[in-house]
Chains A and B, each alone.
Chain A
């Protein structure tokens, strides 16, 4: 390039620079000199406040679109620090009206906001959500003495089912310091309401939506006098369509409560769990855990002491989701695994019999639960009457490794893959190696090898193994559908605020177990007889039931108290649709404690009128 051309171009560049700076200085002069007075006034009495508009969280809908969890508008009391002429006075007055001290919490919030450089004195700080009418009236009456105190309507979480399904849904509450730190990059800020447990937590980012805001001009007392147009409209969160069936969920919870009320004189228990699965997909139709809690209490800042105390009862632990976090020995409900192993390996044929004289002598005398024994039994009858001696013998012949191989195939002792918080427990599938490694857990001083007698106990579900109710339900569902083990799931769709489906979830096959039709037929027939056969251990609860049912009772020995009662089953027997697993902790017997709950669930599912307490004989002493 010629020097002359370069000079020209650089001269042009200088001219551009002069122009740019002239514009900037001119703009500065316009703002500061021409409009200065106006802006000065706006600044000295900067009365523009920014009120956040919370986004309504997405709803939870059941499989038929019925609401399970929603949001509603509620009055929220907040303070705007800048407008509190004398914060100490305003806050102590407010504390007096609310009946508890708010000063400390406000000061803490401000300190935390300052620490994160997020403090804005014109932004409101939430004090009390969903305050009652009496409190609101008192505040309105004392408005003049409470500058900077504002009441606005904001959407809050509403759980219309109250304490039913609380473990699945979870609850929401203000984000904690630790969560803020852990989810640093996800756009959360102090004061955000977030899911703490359950699906609320797992899907928080989907549910929470995007908050909006409204610029408001306020008077000297900080009360809005003018809403500046064009607020930023909050974007509602996406909704979750669940696989749950609202009616079944209620039936499962009420069934458990009814059953526990009926047996309370002999077995005073409060704890249990029930899981209902669609055997054709692994969709969870109901999941309940008892005792429960009402998640609505967490939406208010102040939780009454007695409520808090009840929720944290160390004995019954209402916040524990027993359906996925409780691990219980399966008792006789495990016998189908042993039967499947025996039939599949050819160790027995369906027609093979043994004679049960009440005691199995091979290793050490082990009794059948029925004194004198069941006489001649094949595998079908062994299931029907829950004959222990038959399964001692079969277990002895199979060996622990073969039994465990089948238990594992049915998904026992391993996470099912359900996405829920707190996470599901894996359960324990006790193997000889497990026993060596966990001797301390068993109270042993040094590792001890597996005993042959322990294989016999394992064969009737009384060993060291322990499974979650969800695993048990999935195992029965796998049997019912002929060997396909699905991954249980709770969410079928994520639906955007516009009503469009954003994401769908469907059945996922985890494993296909190769089971001969004769194996399945024998086991299912045995289970059918349990529920509706002449000598079935649960027949007193299902004999008159119009739909053919299959099931199995279990009474699991519990070294810490009364036996746990189990019932697992599916229906219709000939064309299975749903599978259930019911556990009543320390319920005494599977038949009396758990089978009526399953009946209640089947009644609801098949639309059969429920007659509370009818046709339910007193607890028979069967396994």
Chain B
């Protein structure tokens, strides 16, 4: 399937970091399900296997071939998101899941990958022509349509990922500073308008971030308990399965969105910081992949993957430590959840794909 010379070009450091995060996550998920330690782990193992297959498949396709299918991918993406709104099942007031046979998928997760690919393709083609703000309008529409569909679910966190992708990928595509500043400013200006369209619980979460006492029983309570959990872990942690905040049920969603609270409480500062450094290694080397890519398409693909991962880590860890609002964004490779894991494995697959094919191979 692979040329041996290609395999030599794999970034084993990134792969090692991903493997380490995945392995650690299994133990933490186990600890975070006090009622039935194997319930979530068993399911997660299945998703890891699926993720590995997806990773290998992603690697085996030359990323250049992807550029031919971006149009199909883009419309498939829109179709899936519309289907989710129309046919999807609800959980906690949001329409995010699409049931396909026995598996429930979150199309908004895959939408992130698809938009990275299609936007990279669009920008690599159009970058030289993006001279005025007006030239940027088609790009905004390209990202805006799926973003609004996701906001409609409503999934604020994921739609913000789209905003980050748009901004950073435009930046790397070489759009002028002034234009970027205009985009950022208009984003800030639009925020109050968007705020108006949010669901009540989302507004509450955002306001609770500013003042946890506004919603002390909901999001505010969660953040307070999460901070107690992490803080009480101190330097060495309380040991796996030893976190009282986790095991006694003070933490909400501790196997998914708040898994980092368990990490902080049970593993302590040294190991929690170590985990953050593992993420940093992936991201730092990811930027190098972008720098060394053979073409603009590859550079932008790598940039997109790096942006997505960074945004997730920042927002998730920021939320559990009380410096970001509660938006329900999972921690890559560690939070329990199949669609998220699968998405991140495909994303890393893309990254390594770009890295592996950075040189022209002469036969």
Contacts and interface: CB of A to CB of B under 8 A. Distances in A.
A42 B269 CA distance: 18
B321 interface: yes
A32 B290 contact: no
A609 interface: no
Contact of B172 (A9, A23, A50, A185): A9
B262 interface: no
B314 interface: yes
Contacts of B233: 32, 36
Contacts of B225: 48
B299 A6 contact: yes
B248 A122 contact: yes
A229 B323 CA distance: 22
B168 A119 contact: no
Chain A interface size, as a band, is: 35 or more
A232 B287 contact: no
B230 A32 contact: yes
A156 B350 CA distance: 58
A13 B303 contact: yes
Interface stretch (B64-72, B73-81, B275-283): B275-283
A40 B231 contact: yes
A33 interface: yes
Interface stretch (A209-217, A400-408, A565-573): A209-217
A40 B35 contact: no
Contacts of B268: 32
B211 to A, nearest CB: 9
B221 A50 contact: yes
B249 interface: yes
B213 A229 contact: yes
B186 interface: no
B84 interface: no
B93 interface: yes
Nearest to B318: A24
Nearest to A228: B216
A403 B177 CA distance: 85
Given A17-B283, A28-B272, A28-B321, A10 B291 contact: yes
Interface residues of B, number: 62
B269 A20 contact: no
Of the candidates A38, A44, A50, A232, the one having the most CB atoms from chain B within 10 angstroms of its own CB is A232
B227 interface: yes
B113 interface: no
B260 to A, nearest CB: 9
Contacts of B231: 31-32, 35-36, 38-40, 42-43
B245 A46 contact: yes
Given A28-B321, A121-B249, A122-B249, A50 B217 contact: yes
Contact of A117 (B35, B228, B296): B35
Interface string B8-47: 0000000000000000000000000001000000000000
Nearest to A185: B90
Interface string A295-334: 0000000000000000000000000000000000000000
A32 B217 contact: no
Given A17-B280, A25-B273, A28-B230, A232 B35 contact: no
Interface string A1-20: 10001110110011001101
Given A7-B291, A31-B231, A43 B245 contact: yes
A82 interface: yes
A32 B216 contact: no
A18 B283 CA distance: 10
B232 A42 contact: yes
A230 interface: yes
A84 B129 CA distance: 70
B232 A36 contact: yes
A187 interface: yes
A5 B299 CA distance: 13
Contact of B310 (A20, A35, A39): A20
A231 interface: yes
A29 interface: yes
A280 interface: no
B321 A31 contact: yes
Given A1-B173, A32-B233, A46-B248, A213 B269 contact: no
Of the candidates A43, A52, A119, A228, the one having the most CB atoms from chain B within 10 angstroms of its own CB is A43
Interface string B303-322: 10010001001100110011
Nearest to A119: B249
A31 B264 CA distance: 10
A5 B174 contact: yes
Contacts of B299: 6
A27 interface: yes
A114 interface: yes
Interface string B207-236: 000000111111001001101111111110
Interface of B: 35, 89-91, 93, 127-128, 168, 171-174, 213-218, 221, 224-225, 227-235, 244-245, 248-250, 264-265, 268-269, 272-273, 276-277, 279-280, 283-284, 287, 290-291, 296, 299, 303, 306, 310, 313-314, 317-318, 321-323
27 contacts: A1-B127, A1-B128, A1-B296, A13-B172, A13-B290, A13-B306, A17-B280, A17-B306, A24-B314, A25-B277, A27-B318, A27-B322, A28-B264, A32-B269, A35-B231, A39-B231, A39-B232, A42-B228, A46-B228, A48-B224, A121-B249, A212-B217, A213-B221, A229-B213, A231-B217, A232-B217, A232-B218
Among all A-B residue pairs, the 8 with the closest Cβ atoms: A39-B231, A213-B217, A43-B232, A1-B174, A36-B234, A32-B269, A31-B231, A40-B232
Given A1-B296, A24-B318, A215-B217, 18 more contacts: A1-B127, A7-B291, A9-B174, A10-B172, A10-B291, A13-B168, A13-B172, A13-B306, A20-B314, A28-B321, A31-B264, A31-B322, A32-B230, A43-B244, A46-B245, A48-B224, A114-B35, A122-B250
